[in-house]
Homo-oligomer: A and B are copies of this chain.
Amino acid sequence: MRFLLVAGSTDTAAVPGLSAAGADPDLRAHTPAADAEILTYGQPVRAPVVPVSPSGCPTPAAVTRAVRETLGFDVTVVDGGLAEPTAAGTVTVGARPGGDVREADPVPTAPGAYEAARQFGRKLHEDELFVAESVPGGTTTAMGVLRALGEPGAVSSSLPDNPLQQKREVVAEGLDASGLEPGGAVGHPKRAVRRMGDPVLATAAGLARGALETDTAVTLAGGTQMLAVAAMLRHDGVDRRLSLATTSYVAGDDTADLAATADALGVDATVTDPGFDAEDNPGLARYVAGEAKEGVGMGGALALARRANVPMAEVRGSVATVYERLVGETEVTS
């Protein structure tokens, strides 16, 4: 089993109000690079900051890292268009940072990244892959891809109050700039992700596609962004059922309705509740309050912990230890 993190950036993340993946827009640009470092090394190395939301919710990378410190799974970071340098080792597939989805052609590297990632996915000798993402603003670009493909699904949010109306407006503006109707890219996932998505979606879909072609088991480790990946695979002719693993926070987000979209796309969703409400910890409490919800494969990591029969109380203790290392101010008191 290998955990692939696709990390990248877009200018869509700088649209005010869309993303909580960083304390402010300038720091948000460092979030994917920092997430890759936290997953790889347990803390930021080159990145100047531990990603937190504007209200202080620590990055879900800490949860995935905590599970990794328990289980010891292998990680490979794939550069899905990183805007800032990272000290994490990265595999290059030609993805460059994406533009603003309201532009006509925000992700010109998407088709090439998809194909290069597909080749990489084909050649990896693994029985099983988990594919995860870190891209601020990623639910908006996921909505863009779903709309371009004519899929009805809604998307979740890293904010407690999902700015769905704003996302719809941004996506409508992007479709207009790209000369696309909703559904205008049916059967053309590379066109959809190039015009309306982000380089991380393109790369993640390519990885999954290539791995599935060689009968590697693939789990899409994430929430509604990974549903957009699933939709891309469907529109690229992948027929078999797909697997997704996410958190109870995404599954419980009524604004997204993950279950309905998963069902419509033939995706088997594994939902794991880390039970953060059982702890008196300010970082974990942010998740209970509906922040972050998912990212950096958090739901996939929790599924791996459950599969390995690691009690969630132990996972929570590990997360608190990682938080302590990262921000030095949280503590499990129960």
Contact = CB atoms under 8 A, between A and B. Distances in A.
A45 B89 contact: no
Interface string A43-74: 10110000000000000000000000000100
A59 B41 CA distance: 28
A90 interface: yes
B87 A120 contact: yes
A332 interface: no
A77 B91 contact: no
B89 A76 contact: yes
Interface string A109-131: 00000000001100111000000
A321 interface: no
Interface string A85-99: 111111110000000
Interface of A: 40-43, 45-46, 72, 76-78, 85-92, 119-120, 123-125
Given A90-B90, A90-B91, 20 more contacts: A40-B76, A41-B124, A42-B125, A43-B125, A45-B120, A45-B123, A46-B119, A46-B123, A72-B72, A76-B89, A77-B89, A78-B89, A85-B92, A87-B91, A87-B120, A87-B123, A87-B124, A89-B90, A89-B91, A90-B92
